[in-house]
Amino acid sequence: MLNLKEIGNRIKKYRKQKGFTQAQLAEIIDISTIHMSHLETGSVAMSLECMIKICSTLEISPDDLLIGEFELNNNATIKQLAEITKNLSSDENKLLIDFALLLEKNKPNRN
């Protein structure tokens, strides 16, 4: 089930990272500042159209709002790793692969 308060906190976090005030973001996505405040406090749910506008403006994916930064699905994980690895050297990428293999080898049995 969706936790509106957590989603609101994520909106606030990404808004601040982009340097927007609530009023600025609200104006860009064409909603009232009060509605933006309610979204960030989790007191109201947002429409799909509103979510798309927020994600587009903040340059994030719906996964970033709905799932959060630590509960990534496989596609989001692959995308994030691709972004990280494109700026690494060959040796750094090898180290990352070795680390991932070590994690896999030593992971507890999770069923």
Q: What is the pLDDT of residues 50-69, one digit of tens each?
A: 999 999 999 998 888 887 64
Q: Is the pLDDT assigned to residue 111 strictly greater than 60?
A: no
Domains in the chain, number: 2
Q: Are 32 and 50 part of one and the same domain? A: yes
The answer on pLDDT for 2 being more than 80 is no
Rounded CA-CA distance 15/67 in Å is 17
Q: Is the pLDDT of residue 7 over 70?
A: yes
Q: In Å, how far are 66, 72, 73 from 78, measured between CA atoms? A: 18, 9, 9
Biggest CA–CA distance in the chain, Å, is: 51
Structural contact between residues 25 and 13, judged by C-beta atoms closer than 8 angstroms: no
Whether residues 43 and 87 fall in one domain: no
CATH number for the domain harbouring residue 46: 1.10.260.40
Helix, strand or coil for residue 18? Answer: helix
Question: The domain containing residue 97 runs over which residues?
Answer: 74-106
- DSSP 3-state assignment of 93? helix
Q: What is the distance between the alpha carbons of residues 39 and 19, in angstroms, rounded to a whole number? A: 18
**Does some domain include residue 38?**
yes
28-46 tens-digit pLDDT: 999 999 999 999 999 999 9
Query: Which pair of tokens denotes residue 94?
Result: 């090898």
